[in-house]
Every structure is written in C-alpha cells, then in structure tokens.
Amino acid sequence: MKFLFLMDPLETVIFEKDSTFIMMLAAYSRGHEIYYLPEDGISLIEGKAYFHVTKVIPQNNISSPFKKELTTRLSQDDIHAVFIRPDPPFDEQYLMNTWALDHLPKHIAVINSPTGIRTVNEKVWVARFKNITPATVISANQKDLLDFIAKHKNVIAKPTNAFGGKNVFHIENGSTNTKVILETLTDCYNKAIVMQKYVPEAKKGDKRILLLNGNILGAMLRMHGEGEHRNNLFAGGTPMPAKITANDKKIVGVLKPHLQKLGLYLVGIDILGDYLIEVNVTSPTCLQEINRLYDMKLEEKIIDFVEKLVK
C-alpha cells in the first residue's frame, strides 16, 4: 500500500521523540511505500486530488532518519491512506488541506478525518463536557475574564490554538501581572482565550492517554520540572509510568462515541486529577515515550488498525 504522511518538514523530525516517524518506520517494515507530503503539496484539479510527494525510506538511524528516493506526483487513484500530522496551530494552510482532503473517495483511509479535525478545537471542544472538565471560560472580554479569576481565585490561561505548553499562564487572584498577561494572550482583548479553574493535582503531573478508535492505547504521566508549572514534555516535563483509573475509563467512555462518529481515530487526551483538560486530534504525540516506559511498540497497533480501515 501507499501511505502518505502530511507533516512538518522532514528536517524538523526529532528522532528520539517523533511519533509520526515511528509510525512511518512501522508501516515501512511491513512493506508499505512511504511518502512525505508537505503542507503545500496538495492540488485539486477538476475535483480530483493530486499529491506532490517525496518517496522516503525511514531508517532507524539518528544521523540519517530518512533516505529520499524520488519526488513524484500521485493521484488519489494511487494511494491507500493519508496521515494528517502537522503540528498546530490550526492555521489557514491546515484548514485548506482539510478541505482538499475532504474530496478523497471514502475507500481512502484518512487519519484523522478532516471534518473531525475541523470540528474539534483541542482546547475549546472539551468545554461541552461540563461534568468531566474544570470550570471554564472562553472569551476575549476583559470583565468576563477578570470576574472568572475573582470567582475561582486560581486559574490557568492559555491560547485556543497553541501546543506544547506554549503561552500557558498560571494566574492567582490579586497578582499584579494579571492584566498584562490577559492583554498579551488576548491581543488587547481582541482574541478569545481559554481559562480554566486551577486543578491542584497538577502538582502531581498530568496524564496523557492515547486513544485508538476510542479505546485506550497507552498512557503516561508528565511531571513538570523544578520551578515550572507546565507538565508538557516540550516545556521540560519528564515522562513517568501512569495507572489508568476508573475515572479515566469513565472519561474515555464519554468521549468514545463522539470521537468515533467524527472519524478521530488517533487521539491524545490530557487529564489532571479527575478532570479532562484537552483533546488532541491534530498530531497527538508521546508514542515513543510510552513505548520506552513499558517496552511496547504501540505504532504496530496503529498500523494494524489503518490496514484494516483500508481493507
């Protein structure tokens, strides 16, 4: 089969961390052809999708992760699956690519569904599940944001469209930096942000659970470093083993039918204490870290699933 990976440039791949890379390795090891698809590589010509791609051989070699074979153009008639894997933000190019991929025939597996990715903003969508998320406000209005801080005393504020812990602020009521933080995040109250009541269990780390077709694939705890409140790995967090609790399973059970209906096959959810914080659908990560913690090869299960989708 021909598998296309729509992703950030190959040169940006971090060998020991990148989840997309080990999915490519697993697919190649089974005899599938692997193609790198850049974000500007999709064309629609008279309603038919074409892809300007580079055929690559992924290699388990830190100094040379990819061997480039040839650059070519494939049509939708040539391919079997597309993995959508660029990192956020979900910008105009990302949006355009989801529209283009909507044109593909139904027999081509797309992980994740373009419609599902458009529907689920990773930080905003969870607010509909009020029983399993912390108190939340999503607004650009100064009074609404300040009132929320006054009510809950201790909050986390973040952009709606970032990743890796970027621009995530911990604000306590009465802080002299509150207004400047809000002005910065909202672009002087012109852009909505997400604010959630602080969950004290954050001091014990946050849990990343990977889901495959709504079922638990693997999990790990991310623990912040000294002098840091963010648990994200990109912000210096450390991966640690995690136990799946009954409450975790309850949260997954609530999300599962929604994710399946939206075609969101590979998803990463973030849990603090008893609360769901985010649902990551664009390019969920942590495969390599979970593999190392438990001596697993979760990417094999993902490729199994995609092969069945195609067949």
Catalogue the active-site residues: 123, 158, 208, 222, 230, 270, 278, 280
CB 39 within 8 A of CB 6: yes
Q: What is the dihedral of CA 145, 151, 153, 157, to 10 degrees?
A: -30
State residue 54 phi and psi, 5-degree precision: -120, 125
Distance between CA 130 and CA 85 in Å, rounded? 29
Distance between CA 15 and CA 17 in Å, rounded? 6
Give me 147's structure tokens.
Answer: 């009132």
Residues 6+ apart with CB under 8 A from 11: none
DSSP state of 134: -
Smallest CA-to-CA distance from 124 within 208, 195, 181 is with 195
DSSP state of 160: S
For helices 298-310 and 19-29, the axis angle rounded to 10 degrees is: 60
CB 100 within 8 A of CB 42: yes
Distance between CA 7 and CA 97 in Å, rounded? 11
